Amino acid sequence: MRHVERATFRPPIARLGSRLVVGAVAGAVLGLLLDVPLLLAAIFGAAAAGIALAARQASGLRLVADAQGVRVLGRDRPLAASWSSLRLGFGMSAREDGAVQRYAVVADAAGSSFAFADGAGAPPCRPVIGADGRPVEVVDLRDAALLLGLLVQRVPAWNVLPEWLQVGVAEAAPAGALAPEGALPAPAPRSAADRASRVGMWGLLAKLGSKLLGAAGKVGAGAAKAAKTANLGWAAASVATYGILFSWQFALAIMLQLFVHEYGHVHAMRRTGMKVRGMYFIPFLGALAVTEDSFTSRRQQVYVALSGPIWGSALALLPAAAFLWTREPIWAAVAAWWALINLFNLLPIAPLDGGRVMQAFAFSYSSSLGLAVSVLGLAAAVALGAAFGFSLIYLVAALGAMELVAESQARTGARALRLLPEPARFGTFHWAYLRAVLGPPPGGPAEAQFLRNLERQQAAARAAPLRPRELAAWGLGYAALAAGLLALVWLMRAMPGADAAAGILG
């Protein structure tokens, strides 16, 4: 049985955006003084500010929950207790802006208390009185509703929920349902509708032929459908950009490779039941396929990530074969550049395909290893950009850093959800109710965002890790694909046009 990791609940970082901007400005000023490229200095300044804030938060006030109980760390009055010895209560306190803030308070057998709420960015409220009669700060926690759900199920404290929510996942909410601290209108229900015999030789050939034609037809229809989802305006801008920098022939060749590569992702998404939002072309950065769903397993994540380079690499074999047949240098150049595009995507840097593969491998062991591998990948991207003067990779690293933040937040919620003894007993209404108990009023964009984040966290909690045999098979496939692409670029290196692609690899 897989080890269940502990969940850590922390306050959100206040004024994160403004602090990152200050770091970027400071980095840019330092870059001017040291004659460092302005964009690079600003990115490093913002990154340094983010690292400093993250380090400060990591050692600050936090509540750690595991299968045995909870611990409150980072304050003068520690709290450590088993689940069964905890007591749970609720209250209201006045905020600095005069409004009222709902909160929950948990106390151990000695009366040491910890009060928390979902402030949703509101001003802090006044300290409250704990079970031991001493004042307690009300801490604004990220994922506060998940912590309250853990307490309800593990203490247990089912009495917190009204009767219509104690029986299990509710299909509909009764009108005028009340929360413990007053009338809270029941949240609107979300839509549930989201989701042989032997034959002769001639008969066998006919059957195979019909299968191949049918498969080709499906791929063609799928490609046409994917083309319709592509943003034609950005695609035209990409063609124009590459045409100005190189030539219109080269621009069309690059766009064809990008389309086939991204269609590989689209095909894999649809084959595994994921809903595809669209295919987007971005000048200088390439293209990306966007899904509206989360991965249900790490195997699915690897399959979708590698499908793009596999389709793109198969396409690169066509001009390579044409070169061997005709000995025309143009075919060697196209093959080398197409191979280089796919090889670049296999770099172990999120959000590139190789970074997603490495994340799937590492997160299959633990969230901590996954986070460490992701950070190392970003560091490698920065080192690679500095060594080769490839400024574009800094932007890729910045996008990877933002994705890493979202991934780490989803992981935190997923660890909390895995600690629920009976996760199936909580549905959308339960979580919306618990969130409303802690402060934010039901309904509105904030609740919709909370439920979207919850869906991602639930998907992450359910995501099955790669088994050792699967990890070995996909790892060998990843290595073989990268080696094949590297060999293709290297074999074409002597041809005009292809030599430039090989020169990037050194």
pLDDT digits (tens, 9 = 90+) for 402-415: 666 666 666 778 88
pTM (2 d.p.) = 0.67
What number of CA atoms fall less than 13 Å from residue 506's CA on the CB side? 5
Does 301 reside within a domain?
Answer: yes
Amino acid, single-letter form, for residue 18: S
Q: What is the mean pLDDT of the chain?
A: 77
For residue 393, the model assigns a pLDDT of 67
Does 217 reside within a domain?
Answer: no
Is residue 121 scored above 70 in pLDDT?
yes
Averaged pLDDT for residues 460-472: 84
Does 181 reside within a domain?
Answer: no
Is residue 83 scored above 90 in pLDDT?
yes
CB-based contact 115:136 (threshold 8 Å): yes
Domain count, the chain: 2
CA–CA gap between residue 188 and residue 124 (Å, rounded): 29
For residue 430, the model assigns a pLDDT of 92
pLDDT digits (tens, 9 = 90+) for 376-434: 766 766 666 666 666 666 666 666 666 666 666 667 788 889 999 998 889 988 999 99
Averaged pLDDT for residues 128-154: 92
For residue 480, the model assigns a pLDDT of 93
User: Averaging pLDDT over each range in 34-43, 197-206, 266-275, which range is the top one?
Assistant: 266-275
Does 441 reside within a domain?
Answer: no
Does 137 reside within a domain?
Answer: no
Does 445 reside within a domain?
Answer: no
93 Cβ contact list (under 8 Å, min separation 6): 100, 101, 103, 125, 126, 127, 128, 138
Residue 176: enclosing H or E segment and its boundaries? none
Burial class (CB in 10 A: 0-12, 13-18, 19+), 345: buried
Does 143 reside within a domain?
Answer: no
What number of CA atoms fall less than 13 Å from residue 247's CA on the CB side? 6
Domain final residue pick, 35, 58, 81: 58
Is residue 506 scored above 70 in pLDDT?
no
pLDDT digits (tens, 9 = 90+) for 34-73: 877 777 678 778 777 777 777 777 778 899 999 999 999 9
Does 88 reside within a domain?
Answer: no
CA–CA gap between residue 237 and residue 281 (Å, rounded): 8
Residues of the domain holding 409: 225-415+461-504
Chain mean position to CA 339: 27
Q: Which ranges of 327-443 would DSSP assign to H, the alpha helix?
A: 329-345, 353-363, 367-388, 392-418, 428-437
User: Averaging pLDDT over each range in 151-165, 311-325, 447-461, which range is the top one?
Assistant: 311-325
